């Protein structure tokens, strides 16, 4: 047997190469040719609250608005997509800038390269699309700088909204208090003095007016009820505190008067500094809250010294409420795992447990860590993937774990975390691991999520009182399974196309890393044996069975040849730990929950006993009644339709899998179930990537819904939005407790 080849390459008969990549990566050539979530546009002055959007989606929206449907708009679509590819290439090459600038320079270069005239048809087409972009901002790629850029951007956007609300409130009070003082001043001698009257009339008109006499007349007519001294003093004090606050800066630079102290900064490089700053600023916060309260009462004319002075005099930092703190800015702490001192991690937990509005980003570039057993055995194979899970233990801190590849998908959660009143931890894996060569950070980040090395999850204490509402794991692929599976296509030595279903596991992920390569060495084909077993299956074996078998994962070598790689014990152990952590997350999300399963098993035993009894009774009764012929037993109803052929994987629910109906693919399926117009599927992998438990290919490699309960409604809606030919119909939500349902149902309407 000859070496197996990935499709699209010429066969080679060389020996197994030492340079290996996971076989799954063979699918992805160069990322620059793909339309995916990057480049990402960090939207400026974002009124809609979208904060950041993939360039691809902005361009699709613009094209949707400007390009005619069908062949008439095809030329324009092609030109704009070519421009998008040019921008993507520039960003991948390290260029950065605002979208409008990149668009301009890329369009100019494109025109020149194509020999097109300025103001010619292509220029006009591009310009029309540009006018419909509706957003501008820095364009970023997926690299080591991404997590910090995205998180800072989100923080600034939330900070800006808070600042606007703050100013509206505080400036409104300043205005009302100033009015009171002004009205009082207008009753003073000074306001009615000859000089004041003269300057009010102005030089040009003042000739011939006796301002002294006028002043005398006005002085006699004016009211005499001046404000009491203590009230004037109180209002003056409140005004000076509100006007001199340093929590938010002025909108216009020129409003900061010379000598006025600069506003506080809320971006920190360590939690220790953030906590210190918070403590230092406490007296200012207390003073501010007192002044704000005084101002509110004074503006309403309801300050009563006898009643209110004692309350405010006794008010101190222990009285600060969450509502009051929410008015003030949240701190942002930017940490980098591996660069910051380990003691800083401890301080981070102190900050998270404090419940103060401190937002901590822990960016990690290296999940696996070094292979040496120092300082603890568990350093092998990743400690940073545990920080967010640990933060959930504080119970009142918001925690989000996500890799750069899924930042956009988790955008809503990210913004919720930034807006959350208390502390929040964001653990983001950049994918820019120095010891991994030749794999784009985006791909590696996605692989980290796929392989359970860095699952995506969010814990939001503000979402509700229970775990079902607070904890969200839904963005991971193949939620119910240990590892996500995928289908690998290849050619054998004779050029025959074959495919196998395989899993993408932690071991596949570790294989990318140069430090870990030696733990999964290729095994020469002559040494392959019957004892070999895919690692994902091997990991489920009882120890006694496991020793008799040899685990392997599939890799591809430098010649694009499919190889089997051995799995060393240490990396297998790390994989076991990863799956253990994943199962814990599953349990928290109510998937394969051990308590529930135990209960269910007990109930099932009871149920079966009852049915057996009932059946026995019915049979006895029937036998007694009539000796007529007995018809066939009723069959199980089919719940999911399988449009063209039965699925390759046996994972589909047993009731559905067995009975593949011969129904034509075009027929609309019953009622509220999700469905796909399978015959129109272009096999782009978009939906199957999202969740293979939900979307799978049939024998024609066209997608269908393999199990309507295999994923969330959100995934169905996102898949429908992502499907380039719009053939996915999400149906109605099946789990009434899924978060954000109203918004999702609204989005699903477009695909009814």
Chain residues that interact with other proteins, rule: CB under 8 A: 164, 167-168, 171-172, 174-176, 178-179, 243, 251-255, 289, 292-293, 296-297, 299-302, 304, 307-308, 311, 315, 319, 321-324
What residue 172 binds from other proteins, ligand SF4, none (CB within 5 to 8 A, per partner kind)?
other proteins
CB 171 to other proteins: min, Å: 4
Site residues for ligand SF4, 699-728, by CB under 6 A, read 703, 723-725, 727-728
Q: Which of 345, 419, 356 is nearest to 162 (CA)?
A: 419
Q: Does 209 bind ligand SF4 (CB under 6 A)?
A: no
Q: Are 566 and 520 in contact (CB under 8 A)?
A: yes
Stretch that binds ligand SF4, among 133-141, 358-366, 633-641, 683-691 (CB under 6 A): 683-691
Residue 686's binding partner among other proteins, ligand SF4, none (Cβ under 5 to 8 angstroms by kind) is ligand SF4
3-state secondary structure 392-415: HHHCCCEEEEEEHHHCCCCHHHHH
Contact flag: residue 274 with ligand SF4 (CB under 6 A)? no
687 binds ligand SF4 (CB under 6 A): yes
Which residues, in sequence order, are bridge partners of residue 98? 138
Which range, of 268-276, 376-384, 572-580, 675-683, touches ligand SF4 by CB under 6 A?
Answer: 675-683
Q: Return the number of the residue (295 or 425) whose C-beta is nearest other proteins.
A: 295
Other beta carbons within 10 angstroms of residue 395's beta carbon come to 11
* Cα–Cα dist 7/26, whole Å: 9
How are beta strands 358-364 and 267-268 bridged, if at all?
A: unpaired
Using CB under 6 A as the binding criterion, the count of chain residues that bind ligand SF4 stands at: 13
Q: Which is nearer to ligand SF4, 507 or 681 (CB)?
A: 681
Q: Minimal distance in Å, beta carbon 677 to ligand SF4?
A: 8
Please, which residue, 235 or 640, has the CB nearer to ligand SF4? 640
Write the CB contacts of 415 (distance below 8 Å, at least 6 apart in sequence): 49, 51, 154, 157, 158
- Check the CA dihedral 371-372-375-377 and report its sign: positive
CA distance 271 to 53: 30
Q: How far is the CB of 286 from other proteins (least distance, A)?
A: 12
* Burial class of residue 297 in the structure, from the number of CB atoms within 10 Å of its CB (0-12 exposed, 13-18 middle, 19+ buried): middle
> What is the closest distance, in whole angstroms, from the C-beta atom of residue 311 to other proteins in the complex?
6
Q: Verify binding: residue 56, ligand SF4, rule CB under 6 A.
A: no
The entry of ligand SF4, other proteins, none near residue 360 (CB within 5 to 8 angstroms by kind) is: none
Q: How far is the CB of 721 from ligand SF4 (least distance, A)?
A: 10
308 binds, among ligand SF4, other proteins, none (CB under 5 to 8 A by kind): other proteins
Token readout for 491 is 């050619």
Q: Which of residues 500-529 bind ligand SF4 (CB under 6 A)?
A: none
Decide if residue 676 touches ligand SF4 (CB under 6 A): yes
The nearer residue to ligand SF4, 157 or 705, going by C-beta atoms, is 705
- Residue 263 contact among other proteins, ligand SF4, none, beta carbon within 5 to 8 Å by kind: none
Residue 538's Cβ-side half-sphere holds a number of Cα atoms within 13 Å equal to: 22
Which of these segments, 114-122, 161-169, 558-566, 676-684, binds ligand SF4 (CB under 6 A)?
676-684
Angle, nearest 10°, between helix axes 411-419 and 146-185? 40
CB of 521 to ligand SF4, least distance (A): 36
Query: Could you give the CA distance from residue 704 to residue 644 in angstroms, rounded to a whole number?
Result: 9
Q: Indicate the burial class of 257 (C-beta count within 10 angstroms; 0-12, 13-18, 19 or more).
A: exposed
Question: If contact means CB under 5 to 8 A according to the sort of partner, which of other proteins, ligand SF4, none does residue 725 touch?
Answer: ligand SF4
Nearer to other proteins, 319 or 603 (CB): 319
Selection from 445, 442, 441, 475 nearest residue 457 by Cα: 475
Residues of this chain that interact with ligand SF4 (CB under 6 A) are 676, 681-684, 686-687, 703, 723-725, 727-728
């Amino acid at each position: 047997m000859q070496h197996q080849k990935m499709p699209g390459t010429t066969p080679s008969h060389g020996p197994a190469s030492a340079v290996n990549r996971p076989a799954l990566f063979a699918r992805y050539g160069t990322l620059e040719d793909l339309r995916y979530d990057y480049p990402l546009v960090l939207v400026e002055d974002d009124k809609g609250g979208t904060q950041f959007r993939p360039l691809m989606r902005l361009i699709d929206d613009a094209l949707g608005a400007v390009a005619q449907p069908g062949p008439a708009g095809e030329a324009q679509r092609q030109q704009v997509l070519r421009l998008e590819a040019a921008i993507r290439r520039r960003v991948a090459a390290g260029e950065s800038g605002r979208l409008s600038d990149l668009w301009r320079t890329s369009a100019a270069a494109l025109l020149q390269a194509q020999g097109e005239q300025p103001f010619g048809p292509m220029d006009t087409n591009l310009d029309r699309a540009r006018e419909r972009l509706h957003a501008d901002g820095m364009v970023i790629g997926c690299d080591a700088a991404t997590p910090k850029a995205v998180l800072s951007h989100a923080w600034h956007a939330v900070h800006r909204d808070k600042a606007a609300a703050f100013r509206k409130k505080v400036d409104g009070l300043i205005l009302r208090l100033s009015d009171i003082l002004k009205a009082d001043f207008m009753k003073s001698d000074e306001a009615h003095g000859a000089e004041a009257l003269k300057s009010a009339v102005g030089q040009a008109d003042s000739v011939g007016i006796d301002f002294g006499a006028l002043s005398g007349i006005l002085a006699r007519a004016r009211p005499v009820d001046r404000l009491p001294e203590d009230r004037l003093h109180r209002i003056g004090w409140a005004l000076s505190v509100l006007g001199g606050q340093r929590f938010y800066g002025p909108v216009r630079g020129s409003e900061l008067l010379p000598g006025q102290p600069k506003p506080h900064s809320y971006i920190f490089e360590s939690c220790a500094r953030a906590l210190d700053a918070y403590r230092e600023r406490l007296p200012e916060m207390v003073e501010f809250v007192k002044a704000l309260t005084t101002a509110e009462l004074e503006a309403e004319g309801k300050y009563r010294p006898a009643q209110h002075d004692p309350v405010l005099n006794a008010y101190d930092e222990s009285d600060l409420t969450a509502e009051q703190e929410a008015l003030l800015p949240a701190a942002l702490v930017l940490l980098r795992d591996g660069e910051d001192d380990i003691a800083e991690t401890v301080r981070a937990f102190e900050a998270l447990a404090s419940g103060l509005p401190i937002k901590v980003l822990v960016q990690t570039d290296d999940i696996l860590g070094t292979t040496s057993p120092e300082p603890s055995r568990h350093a092998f194979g990743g400690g940073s993937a545990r920080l967010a899970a640990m933060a959930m233990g504080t119970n009142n801190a918001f925690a989000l774990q996500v890799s750069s590849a899924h930042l956009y998908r988790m955008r809503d959660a990210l913004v919720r975390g930034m807006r959350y009143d208390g502390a929040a931890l964001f653990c983001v894996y950049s994918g820019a691991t120095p010891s991994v060569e030749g794999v784009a950070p985006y791909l590696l980040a996605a692989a980290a999520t796929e392989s359970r090395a860095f699952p995506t999850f969010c814990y939001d204490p503000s979402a509700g009182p229970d775990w079902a509402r607070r904890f969200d794991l839904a963005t991971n692929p193949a939620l119910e399974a240990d590892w996500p599976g995928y289908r690998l296509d290849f050619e054998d030595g004779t050029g025959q196309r074959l495919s196998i279903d395989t899993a993408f596991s932690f071991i596949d992920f570790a294989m990318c890393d140069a430090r870990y390569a030696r733990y999964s060495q290729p095994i020469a084909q002559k040494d392959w044996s019957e004892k070999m077993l895919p690692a994902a299956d091997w990991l489920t074996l009882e120890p006694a069975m496991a020793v008799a078998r040899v685990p392997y994962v599939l890799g591809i070598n430098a010649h694009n040849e499919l190889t089997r790689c051995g799995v060393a014990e240490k990396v297998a152990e790390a994989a076991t730990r990863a799956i253990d952590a994943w199962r814990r997350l599953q349990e928290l999300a109510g998937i394969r929950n051990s308590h529930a399963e135990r209960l269910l098993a007990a109930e099932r035993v009871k149920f079966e006993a009852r049915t057996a009894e009932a059946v026995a009774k019915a049979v006895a009764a029937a036998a007694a009644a009539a000796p007529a012929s007995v018809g066939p037993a009723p069959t199980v109803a089919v719940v999911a339709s399988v449009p063209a052929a039965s699925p390759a994987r046996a994972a589909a629910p047993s009731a559905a899998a067995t009975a593949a109906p011969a129904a034509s693919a075009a027929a609309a399926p019953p009622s509220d179930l999700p469905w796909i117009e399978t015959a129109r599927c272009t096999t782009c992998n978009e939906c199957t990537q999202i969740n293979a438990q939900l979307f799978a290919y049939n024998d024609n490699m066209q997608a269908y819904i393999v199990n309507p309960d295999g994923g969330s409604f959100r995934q169905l809606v996102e898949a429908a939005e992502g499907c380039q030919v719009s053939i996915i119909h999400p149906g109605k939500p099946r789990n009434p407790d899924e978060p954000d349902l109203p918004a999702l149902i609204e989005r699903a309407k477009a695909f009814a």
